[in-house]
Amino acid sequence: MKTGLKLVLLTVILTVALGAIAYAKEEFFIKIAHTHGPGTDPEHYAHTPLQCFVKDIEQATNGRIKAKIYWNHALGKPEKVMNLLRSGMVEMQAFADGQAAPYYKDIQAIGIPYLFPNREVCYEVLDGPVIEKFNEKMGRECGIRPIAWGENGGYRHFSSNKLMKTAADLKGLKMRTMTHPVHMEMVRLLGMSPTPISYADLYTALQTGVVDGQENSISTVKMAKLDEVQKYIILDGHMYAPWVWFYSQKFLDKLPDDLRQILFREVRKAVALNREISQRNEKKDLEYLEKKGVTIIEPTPEAKAEIKKLTQGPIVAMLKKNYDPQLVDDLLEAVKEAEAKQAAGKL
C-alpha cells in the first residue's frame, strides 16, 4: 500500500512539474493592426512606439511574447478589426477612442468638448484610477480592453475649404465624423451636418466633396495628406485626441500573470514615448502644413469660449442621460483634482 501510494504521489508530482514547465515555456503572438505604412519620418507618434514595442516586448519576455505589425489595413479597416479583437482573432490595435464607440458606448465620455484644459491635466487623468477602472470594466463587458491611452497628435481641430474664425462660420458645413454619437452631436450643436465616414475613406470623401471638412489633430491631417484637399484649419482644440492601445480581452485572459504584468509595463512605456513624440510631431507638422499652403487660423479666446458654451453643457447632459452618469461625474471630478494639483505645482 505504501509503495503504491508513493507511486501515485510521484506521478502527481511529475505531472504537475511537467505541466508547469510546459506552461512556463508557452509562447504568445501579438498581431498588431495598423492603419498606415511605416512611413519615412525618422520618428512618428504612431509608428515609432509600435516598432519599439515589438522589439522591447520580445526582449523583456525572453521571446515568450512576439509581436508583428500589420501595416496599411492588412488585417482590415478599423471597424472590422474591432470585431476581430472581440473574437480574439487579432490581439491588438492602436487607434482613436472613437472607433470603439459602436462597441462600448460609455467610452464616449472621454469626448466631452474641452474636457482637458492642457496636456498635463489630461495625462494625469488618463493615467489615473478613474480611467483604469473604466479600462477593466470595458474589457470585461465588451471584450476589448484599453491598456493605455496615448496621444493621436494632440488636440482635435476643424478643417474645411471655407474660412472659419468663429462658431458662426461653421454653420452649414458637412463635417466628417467617426461613428461616435458625442462627436456627431457636437457637430450638430454647432450647426453642421455630421457625416460618419471611415478613416480609410476620408481623403476620397473630402476630394470628391462628399463632405466639406473634418476634425482631427494636426499630425493626423499631415499623416493622411489632407493638406491636399483642405485649405483651412481653425485651432479650436475642441477635444483631446487619444491614441488608445486596445487589446483583445480573450488574449489577455490567456496570458500568465508574469507575462501580463510585463505586457502592461511595456505598453505604458511605449505610450510614454508616443506622447513625447506626438508633441514634437505636432509642432513640426503645423509648420509643414503652413508651408504646403494651408491657412492656420488661431481663434480668439472669445471664439473658443463660444464653441465651448454651445457644446460642453449639452454634451455632458446627453452623456448623463444616455450613458453612465457616474463615469461622467468621476471624469469631471478627476479633471478638477488634476487642475488643483497643477495649480499647486504638483504636476
> Where in the chain are the domains?
24-343
pLDDT confidence of residue 6: 54
pLDDT confidence of residue 333: 99
Model pLDDT for residues 259-286, shown as the tens digit of each residue: 999 999 999 999 999 999 999 999 999 9
Distance of CA 61 to the CA centre of its chain: 25
Residue 310 has pLDDT above 50, yes or no: yes
Question: pTM for this one?
Answer: 0.90
Model pLDDT for residues 311-321, shown as the tens digit of each residue: 999 999 999 99
Q: Are 227 and 221 in contact (CB under 8 A)?
A: yes
The answer for residues whose C-beta is within 8 angstroms of residue 82's C-beta and 6 or more apart is: 93, 99, 100, 102, 103, 144, 246
pLDDT confidence of residue 13: 52
Average pLDDT rounded to a whole number, residues 223-235: 98
| CA distances from residue 336 to 117, 156, 157, 274 in whole angstroms, order as listed | 10, 21, 24, 25
Residue 28 has pLDDT above 80, yes or no: yes
Average pLDDT rounded to a whole number, residues 297-319: 98
Share of the chain above pLDDT 70, in %: 93
Which residues make beta-bridge pairs with 217?
A: 156
* Cα 160 to Cα 100: distance, rounded to the nearest angstrom: 26
pLDDT confidence of residue 39: 76
pLDDT confidence of residue 3: 57
Question: What CATH number does the domain located at 24-343 have?
Answer: 3.40.190.170
Q: Where are the alpha helices (DSSP H) in the chain?
A: 2-24, 47-60, 78-87, 119-126, 129-142, 167-170, 181-189, 202-207, 218-223, 249-254, 257-291, 301-322, 325-343
Mean of pLDDT over the chain: 94
Which residues make beta-bridge pairs with 160?
A: 213, 232
